């Protein structure tokens, strides 16, 4: 299969490229001109003939030309982090329309168009004992980034119905690559006491926050380096996240499975139970842990039964394996990912 990938220098895109080339697909990758992360893709140019096209997502004609001659499009190109509201439109929404219209007019025989949406469209903060489902998607988005993803998904659905383009939408989670689980990306998800101290110290003061900080400092002074955060409601924190290897595999499932066409799917790794995962890391690393009541709760999980049934994807990685692999990579081992850089 000949596959066009946008966003190929990102943490997910680069690992999609890795998995596609490993199985023998021919890949054309859209890369922002003079991208500082281009070096991540050079090994695939040398080993598999990866084609790199330097074109900005806002270059409508240049981007349109890239769909010619491919069997499938994986559109993960987007700008995360701080952007202006108009950049959300120009970079995160308009290129989706550009690609869809280019497929309609220049490549009507396309076999698959995979669109990367986001779990930011779903509620997943606080204590949520009930499974999050597709029906829980926000009707009133809370950020212009969320608006951009809703608009992009609407264009995808429109072109599937209007032009018959075989589309698949993936709601992609907060995704981590290897050692990023150890506080390098989100301190509040890290198992390390130092990460949570840094996070809590930037939160508004309160008796609960100050108490947790004091307990964390005491545990650290006692030689403990890991922490299991406990919700105010009683259970340990639970997150539903993405390991980059699982998200890349889900993307390949979206390319391959006919039952996925026209569908939208929540893509996750296995739930990240902080108590189970941190105790496993303690055994692997030899570090001791403390269980501490936190001033906020994080307890949520998605219903992915529809994803398993129609997309044909079941995740491989759980919190224990994620943390073990993060620890291994941090200490120089190859865990089979394109490093985030």
DSSP three-state, residue 90 = helix
Please tell me the distance from the alpha carbon of residue 206 to that of residue 214, in angstroms, as a whole number.
12
Q: How many residues does the chain have?
A: 341
Please tell me the distance from the alpha carbon of residue 172 to that of residue 242, in angstroms, as a whole number.
8
Q: Which residues, 6+ apart, have CB-to-CB distance to 234 below 8 Å?
A: none
DSSP three-state, residue 283 = helix
Retrieve residue 38's tokens.
Answer: 């281009």
pLDDT reported for residue 34 = 84
- Mean pLDDT in order along the chain per 10 residues (341 residues): 96 97 97 90 94 96 98 93 83 96 98 97 96 95 91 97 98 96 96 98 97 98 98 98 98 98 98 98 98 98 98 98 98 95 78
Element (H, E) at 6: strand 2-6
Please tell me the distance from the alpha carbon of residue 150 to that of residue 125, in angstroms, as a whole number.
20
pLDDT reported for residue 22 = 96
Helical segments of the chain, H only: 11-22, 42-48, 60-65, 85-87, 94-106, 144-163, 193-200, 207-221, 244-256, 274-285, 305-306, 319-330
Retrieve residue 54's tokens.
Answer: 């330097």
Can you give the residue ranges of every domain in the chain? 2-178+239-270+298-318, 180-238+273-293
Please tell me the distance from the alpha carbon of residue 262 to that of residue 112, in angstroms, as a whole number.
10
Q: Measured over all CA atoms, what is the biggest interatomic distance in the chain, rounded to whole angstroms?
A: 66
Output the CA–CA distances (angstroms, integers) from residue 42 to 17, 332, 341, in the order listed: 11, 21, 14
Triad 251, 248, 24: Cα angle to 5°? 85
Residue 231: strand pairing partners: none
Retrieve residue 163's tokens.
Answer: 């032009």
* Dihedral of alpha carbons 55, 58, 59, 61, sign: positive
CATH number of this structure's domain 2-178+239-270+298-318, picked from the four choices 3.40.50.2000, 3.40.50.1400, 3.40.50.720, 1.10.645.10: 3.40.50.720
Q: What long-range pairs does 283-288 form, CB within 8 A, spacing at least 24?
A: 284/323, 284/324, 284/327, 285/226, 285/327, 287/224, 287/225, 287/226, 288/223, 288/224, 288/225, 288/226
DSSP 204: P
Retrieve residue 240's tokens.
Answer: 């539903």
pLDDT reported for residue 82 = 62
What burial class does residue 38 get, using C-beta atoms within 10 Å of its C-beta: 0-12 exposed, 13-18 middle, 19+ buried?
A: middle
């Amino acid at each position: 299969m000949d596959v066009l990938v946008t966003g190929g220098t990102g943490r997910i895109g680069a690992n999609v490229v890795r998995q596609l080339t490993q199985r023998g697909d021919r890949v054309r990758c859209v890369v922002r001109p003079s991208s500082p992360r281009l070096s991540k893709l050079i090994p695939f140019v040398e080993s598999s003939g990866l084609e790199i096209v330097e074109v900005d997502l806002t270059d409508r004609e240049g981007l349109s030309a890239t769909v010619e001659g491919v069997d499938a499009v994986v559109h993960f190109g987007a700008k995360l982090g701080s952007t202006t509201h108009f950049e959300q439109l120009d970079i995160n929404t308009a290129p989706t329309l550009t690609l869809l219209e280019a497929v309609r007019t220049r490549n009507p025989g396309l076999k698959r168009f995979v669109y990367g949406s986001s779990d930011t469209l779903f509620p997943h903060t606080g204590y949520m004992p009930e499974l999050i489902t597709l029906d829980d998607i926000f009707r009133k988005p809370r950020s212009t980034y969320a608006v951009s993803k809703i608009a992009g998904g609407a264009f995808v659905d429109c072109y599937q119905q209007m032009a018959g383009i075989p589309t698949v939408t993936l709601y992609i989670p907060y995704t981590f690559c290897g050692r990023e689980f150890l506080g390098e990306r989100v301190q509040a998800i890290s198992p390390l006491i130092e990460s949570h101290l840094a996070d809590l110290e930037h939160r508004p003061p309160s008796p609960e926050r100050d108490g947790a900080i004091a307990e964390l400092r005491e545990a650290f002074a006692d030689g403990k380096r890991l922490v299991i955060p406990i919700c105010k409601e009683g259970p340990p924190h639970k997150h539903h996240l993405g390991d980059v290897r699982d998200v890349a595999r889900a993307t390949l499932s979206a390319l391959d499975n006919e039952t996925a066409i026209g569908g939208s799917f929540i893509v996750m790794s296995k739930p990240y139970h902080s108590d189970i995962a941190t105790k496993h890391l303690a055994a692997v690393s030899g570090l001791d842990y403390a269980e501490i009541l936190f001033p906020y709760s994080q307890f949520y999980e998605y219903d992915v039964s529809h994803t398993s049934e129609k997309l044909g994807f079941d995740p491989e990685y759980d919190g224990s394996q994620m943390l073990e692999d993060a620890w291994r990579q941090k200490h120089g081992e190859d865990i089979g990912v394109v490093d985030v850089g």
